[in-house]
Amino acid sequence: MTESPDTGAADPGPTQRSPLQGQVVFEDADYLDAVVDLLGAIAYGELSAFERLVDDARLAPSLRDKVEMCAMASLEFGHVTRLHERLVSLGADPFAAMAPFEAPIDLFHAHTAPADWYEGLIKAYVGDGLAADFYREIAAYLDAETRDLIVASLADAGQASFAVRHIRQAIDADPRLGGRLALWGRRLMGEALTQAQRVAAERDALTALLAGGIDRPGLDLAAIGRMFTRITERHADRMSELGLSA
């Protein structure tokens, strides 16, 4: 694969200059709010990814493929428990923390219901990859403990190699499929951006985190631009890994 958990910290390297260590940083109420928001968003994202993977597994062409997709789903669910434990240790209610993200994440899924097994596979790989890249970019601005938990929660559960293998085989067998699936990838990207924008507009703590604070480095507009460029490039990498144009 073309990505690694470290790439999110490549520019401008806030984690190297940042003084965010241990529990001290959580004395800043705004920072705590932002971390609770972020963990809540990821936890709800993983929960709904779990549900969607199990749902999309029904489209599997064989019992073997179905079991493999359900196994990936089960792995994703394991992360929810660990994110909840962290939220509780920060004094937050995990269910209250997830609640604000139900609507945008459910809408993302409602607008991207796969029409067949292949669209489901691409969604599992490309959709989860997009979300993971975005969260990892934000995680680079956090204390080490929170960042490590987030990076571990976003580890690929096997979707990548599973999807790449199946999609490449399918396009070899029916090259016309490539055009439809390339469009599908663009739609996933567009819908993800729409919902991310909605969250950014509604969750002040999260956007304030990116903007920085008195003793926390933040992103200026140029840096935010570079962040979106990186996310877009990684999306294109994944699409070409699948043999599709982005």
Residues that bind its own copies (CB under 8 A): 47, 50-51, 54-55, 57-58, 62-64, 66-67, 70-71, 73-74, 77-78, 80-81, 84, 95, 98-99, 102
Minimum Å gap between C-beta 74 and its own copies is 5
| Closer residue to its own copies in complex, CB, 74/89 | 74
Minimum Å gap between C-beta 44 and its own copies is 8
| Closer residue to its own copies in complex, CB, 25/92 | 92
| Closer residue to its own copies in complex, CB, 6/102 | 102
Minimum Å gap between C-beta 54 and its own copies is 4
Minimum Å gap between C-beta 55 and its own copies is 8
Nearest to 234 by CA among 47, 74, 4: 4
Tokens 């982005």 belong to which residue?
246
| Closer residue to its own copies in complex, CB, 51/156 | 51
